[in-house]
Amino acid sequence: MAADAFGTISCIGTGAMGSALMRAVVRRAGAENVLVSDAEEEKARAFAASCGCTAVSNREAAERAGFLFLAVKPAVLPALLAEISGWLQPSCTVVSMAAGVPTASVRAALRGNPVVRIMPNVAASCGCGMTAVSAGADVPQEKTGAVCDLLSASGRTEIVPESLMDAVTGVSGSGPAFGFVFIDAMADAAVRLGMPRAQALVFAAQTLKGAAELVLAGGHPAVLKDAVCSPAGTTIEGIAALEDSAFRAAVIRAVTAAGEKSASAGKSVSAGKVPSAENSPSA
């Protein structure tokens, strides 16, 4: 789509995730077409000044939007939806990134607006994000496609059925943190073996980045792993140590726990309860 074909794109919430996605949207649609707001007005103004878009009130963001991104925590979402529901244009597409909250819950609080649910991750801030996009059967295909197009500068996007969104949250939403822990641990080991800390971090991070690129290029991780493991060599010795420490099981438990937390948080919000851990005004 041409940049001006999107109309006005608004985002309520300029925390880490909202800011990362709006920087990508600015690159795709132009700063002149982007409005932002936040419960902390100074935060919205600072973000707008940093990328050339415009800071406004929640009401103006809602009233003028053709696409309205809601970058707030799940606990804040019900009150925000109640606040803005009367201000939206009927044609406005609402894009929610609240973990665990289904499109049906968002749609029920609005007045028939199409609702698209996304789950991005923090790597969107450097253009290497992974964003899942899901929309109900009543959302026109071109609207879902437009959301993917708007987010194209943030990294990779994939359309998934909403039933997989909690799994997405566990894998790619929370996954960067798991990767950071792995990189940090690899760097610690390199330091233990005598490498300077700064250099160790570069070696660990670049190694994980390269491994990921090989998988994205079509290699199966098990096949790639076998290709690196020479008989009686160093790598198979390290793999054996990982297996002795139940590394795979720990990763599976971590992703599963994050996905299950997403599901339980969504049920709490849908039932009108406020999850105790979700008390920040913006994501």
Strand partners, 9: 34, 67
Q: Is 13 annotated as a binding residue?
A: yes
Q: Is 36 annotated as a binding residue?
A: no
Q: Is 218 annotated as a binding residue?
A: no
Q: Is 58 annotated as a binding residue?
A: yes
Q: Is 133 annotated as a binding residue?
A: no
| Calpha distance 188→215 (Å, rounded) | 25
| Calpha distance 48→12 (Å, rounded) | 12
Q: Is 16 annotated as a binding residue?
A: yes
Torsion of CA 10, 266, 39, 136, to 10 degrees: 10
Q: Is 66 annotated as a binding residue?
A: no
Q: Is 115 annotated as a binding residue?
A: no
Q: Is 207 annotated as a binding residue?
A: no
Strand partners, 34: 9
Q: Is 186 annotated as a binding residue?
A: no
Q: Is 121 annotated as a binding residue?
A: no
Annotated binding site for NADP(+): 12-17, 71-74
Q: Residues within the annotated binding site for NADPH?
A: 58
Residue ranges of the binding site:
12-17, 58, 71-74
